[in-house]
Structure 1
Amino acid sequence: MRNMQFAIFFGTVILVYFLVNYYIYVHGLMAFQSTGNFKTAYKILFWVIASTFIVGEILEHTHSSLAGEWIYRIGAFWLSFMLYLFIATLFIDIIRLLDKFFHIVPAVLKSNPGNLRLWTGITVFALVALVVFFGHLNALHTRVKQISITIPKKVSGAPDMKVLMASDIHLGALIGERREQKLVDIINQQQPDLVLLCGDMVDGDIAPVLRKKLGRHLQEIKPRMGMYAIPGNHEYIGGIKETLPYLESININVLRDQIITLPNGVQIVGRDDLSARNRDGGRKELPDLLENVDMNNPVFVLNHQPFNLEEVAKAGVDLHLSGHTHDGQMWPLNYITQAVFEDSWGFLKKDKTNIYVSSGFGSWGPPVRIGNTPEVVVFNLHFQPETAEL
């Protein structure tokens, strides 16, 4: 049954991918139809590039190599081109349709339809290339966001605590050692007491991570109260049984429906990803996990996918941290994540619960971000028990 569902899902994705590409291809063919030999070159080049993402994905899952990585890289960039070429082409079709009824396009532009199509195609591609280029630069620029929160509970020792959170690192074919080192540098600069990694440490298949020995620099991080991680959906996509041993080998403490108590009394509840629901006995429900937690002491919950926030607030959790959404990663996909999640990105206070959903450190697919930036979040926490009213 599960294999059938996967086959239907995969087939649907491939069909949509082909239809979108075909829509762009046909309009490109119309634009370049008067340019002679370039028309033939366009046909070949378009479908070669359009196939690179799927071919690269297959190669990375079957035989990870540098050549396969570059094919996948080209395909990943093509995804961003595909999105914005599709939007631009759809917009032009809408203008063309409106022109039939309202004649909104100046007659001088329509006097030579061949030239109009050609220059429209060239202009659209140039603008999309600029958007993707600056989106890629933006994806490489990680900001450090500082948030101060007072939690009305007492801890042992110092009442202040600095917690650094990173999510969606996506180590793999596209995000490699250089970006990993950047994360390590940020952590060392911030000198947090505690580091929390909220899922999707790897991009999917573990093969490119093993091939490039990624993650080993994270072993250099020695925060005073430790470093803990939880699985995300991409750890399951690549195979949790293969990914988990590697993360543990580089000294990443992965919590799967587990609770640890820090020396100052803060309790960290690390939830397994939603992907575990139908595997290995499933994941525990939050109320079941909190049965073994002292709610009089601070409680942090790490949960990769930010669903059921009402349940979190009702439980009285002090700090709830998630990632997963990437805040849509590329506009206008953020409208989809905003429709799906109560909190697509940023800080939300529900009752007494402090909730934060990170836009993530890395990226999935295209190393491109439009309308948001990658981030690492530093929480400057102050613990102050409520005083009784006189």
Structure 2
Amino acid sequence: MKVFLEAFLLQYLLTLYIAYRGGQALPARGAWRKMFYALMAAIFGLYVVGFAGNRVLPDALMSGIMSVTGFWFFMAIYVMFALVLVEIVRLIDRRWVHGYARLTQNGRARVRLILFFLIGSVSAGLMIKGMHIVRFPEVKHMTVQLDRPAIDGRQSMRVALLTDIHISETVTAPYIRYVVERTLAERPDVVLVGGDVIDYHGRYARRNGITEMMRRLQDETPMGAYYVLGNHEYRADEVEKREWFRSIGHLLIDEVATPGGVFYLVGRDDSTNVFRAPLHELMPQVDTTKASILLDHQPHVLDSVAMTGVDLALYGHTHNGQIWPFTLLTRLAFENPWGYQRKGHTQFFVSSGVGAAGPAIRVFTRSEIVILDIQFAKE
């Protein structure tokens, strides 16, 4: 609820300011300004309806509301960036250049109108491109050489890593079907799912056959599908979500498994749970002469993970910022916000995720299905 309230307040402030500045750019006479104000009011009205009725409105209606308001929410952020840039240019011009002041009244009106449509069209274009990025995730292939042998002595294994699907009003059944089919087309031996599978309400994972789609990852791979929780799994409907995970695969909460008898898989609870078991308490269940993989959600304290002797640690959570400029902020918040890293014996990989939180939009980041071709050491 806190997240929704913060988003509601930000949406209110952004929409109010953009309506004020946009109205200044449009002619006072005629219908353009009135139509623009009406559009802003309608979008914000939809946001109020969605905020107030998200638990009672039909799911199909909520999907439409969230698609429209989410598109505008991210678009408004970029419009705001553009307005700040325009304001900086205007101050520089007023202080040193005086070009705008020399224009006629009609010339100034023309400049404002051009900026209005330029900012609006570029921002909307970024959103449309961002929707396409999420809708068609890339398949990223990596080869990882482990320093320890497999439990059963095999030489190789293919792992599909999926994180941050965020099933929701905007990440729906057609998208889940596409992701599942793209993943299975890579013929993985095992599927590892690194948390934040459900964005908020658990009911969206049970609609339109999504459960059956996700169960295919378990049923159509030799070693099955293994899941850990993310921070979004703790935001609502915790019990319902855990039951759902267990209906589609293996849920690991501070547990160690041996998928197919091939390697040790350490599945941690999300760090949202401050009482989760320390990693050093789980590692005694692992034969450290054999290959081991850690599956966790948030890539924190990597140094302490490296000290445990895990061969490979897999994470998600960051989305690599999802939209610029939050990509820059994730670099400040996380030692490794995205990609491969090695610390001593332990190799790390942080996925940018396959879905998206909130609006199904990414800007200057990518959605990815990660395929890891694991090479084991020889006995």
* 2:254 is aligned with 1:254: no
Task: Report what 2:40 is aligned to.
Answer: 46
- What root-mean-square deviation, in Å, do the aligned CA atoms of Structure 1 and Structure 2 show? 2.1
Give the residue type in structure 1 aligned to 2:61.
A
Task: Report what 2:281 is aligned to.
Answer: 288
Structure 1 residue 342: Cα displacement: 0.8
Structure 1 residue 198: Cα displacement: 0.5
Given that 1:270 and 1:303 are in contact with CA atoms closer than 8 Å, whether structure 2 keeps it comes out as yes
The aligned runs of 1:157-168 (5 Å cut-off) are 157-168=153-164
1:146 to 119, 124, 141: 141
Q: Percent identity at matched positions?
A: 28
Task: Report what 2:291 is aligned to.
Answer: 298
Give the residue type in structure 2 aligned to 1:267.
Y
* 2:91 is aligned with 1:97: yes
Given that 1:267 and 1:298 are in contact with CA atoms closer than 8 Å, whether structure 2 keeps it comes out as yes
Task: Report what 1:115 is aligned to.
Answer: 110
Structure 1 residue 273: Cα displacement: 1.1
Equivalents in 2 of 1:157, 1:64: separation in Å? Answer: 52
Equivalents in 1 of 2:366, 2:283: separation in Å? Answer: 34
The aligned runs of 1:164-313 (5 Å cut-off) are 164-221=160-217, 222-249=220-247, 251-277=248-274, 282-313=275-306
Task: Report what 1:368 is aligned to.
Answer: 361
Structure 1 pair 51–283 and aligned structure 2 pair: CA distance change class (3 A): farther
Structure 1 residue 254: Cα displacement: 1.1
Structure 1 residue 117: Cα displacement: 1.4
Equivalents in 1 of 2:287, 2:378: separation in Å? Answer: 15
Per the normalisation by structure 1, the TM-score is 0.90
Structure 1 pair 109–288 and aligned structure 2 pair: CA distance change class (3 A): farther
The aligned runs of 1:275-354 (5 Å cut-off) are 275-277=272-274, 282-354=275-347
Equivalents in 2 of 1:358, 1:57: separation in Å? Answer: 30
Given that 1:198 and 1:304 are in contact with CA atoms closer than 8 Å, whether structure 2 keeps it comes out as yes
What is the SS of the residue equivalent to 1:161?
strand
Equivalents in 1 of 2:266, 2:39: separation in Å? Answer: 50
Give the residue type in structure 2 aligned to 1:194.
V
Q: Which moved more, 1:139-148 or 1:99-108?
A: 99-108
Given that 1:60 and 1:205 are in contact with CA atoms closer than 8 Å, whether structure 2 keeps it comes out as no
Task: Report what 2:130 is aligned to.
Answer: 135
Q: What are structure 2's unaligned runs of at least 5 residues?
A: none
Q: Which moved more, 1:318-327 or 1:171-180?
A: 171-180
What is the SS of the residue equivalent to 1:348?
strand
Equivalents in 2 of 1:22, 1:367: separation in Å? Answer: 24
Structure 1 residue 81: Cα displacement: 0.8
Equivalents in 2 of 1:252, 1:61: separation in Å? Answer: 27
Structure 1 residue 116: Cα displacement: 1.9
Structure 1 pair 58–262 and aligned structure 2 pair: CA distance change class (3 A): same
* 2:371 is aligned with 1:378: yes
Equivalents in 2 of 1:113, 1:368: separation in Å? Answer: 35
Give the residue type in structure 1 aligned to 2:50.
G
What is the SS of the residue equivalent to 2:375?
strand
Structure 1 residue 44: Cα displacement: 2.4
Given that 1:313 and 1:350 are in contact with CA atoms closer than 8 Å, whether structure 2 keeps it comes out as yes
1:157-200 C-alpha deviation (Å, 9 max, x unpaired): 32111111011111221111211111221222111111101111
Give the residue type in structure 1 aligned to 2:310.
V
Q: What are structure 1's unaligned runs of at least 5 residues?
A: 1-5
Structure 1 residue 202: Cα displacement: 1.2
Structure 1 pair 148–88 and aligned structure 2 pair: CA distance change class (3 A): same
Equivalents in 1 of 2:335, 2:327: separation in Å? Answer: 12
Per the normalisation by structure 2, the TM-score is 0.92
Give the residue type in structure 2 aligned to 1:233.
N
Structure 1 pair 208–132 and aligned structure 2 pair: CA distance change class (3 A): same
1:196-251 C-alpha deviation (Å, 9 max, x unpaired): 011111121012333334231122232111210111111111321121112222x2
Structure 1 residue 47: Cα displacement: 2.5
Equivalents in 1 of 2:167, 2:331: separation in Å? Answer: 26
Equivalents in 1 of 2:270, 2:175: separation in Å? Answer: 24
Equivalents in 1 of 2:53, 2:334: separation in Å? Answer: 33
Equivalents in 2 of 1:302, 1:369: separation in Å? Answer: 24
Give the residue type in structure 2 aligned to 1:276.
N
Given that 2:337 and 2:350 are in contact with CA atoms closer than 8 Å, whether structure 1 keeps it comes out as yes
Equivalents in 1 of 2:142, 2:41: separation in Å? Answer: 47
Structure 1 pair 289–35 and aligned structure 2 pair: CA distance change class (3 A): farther
Given that 2:11 and 2:73 are in contact with CA atoms closer than 8 Å, whether structure 1 keeps it comes out as no
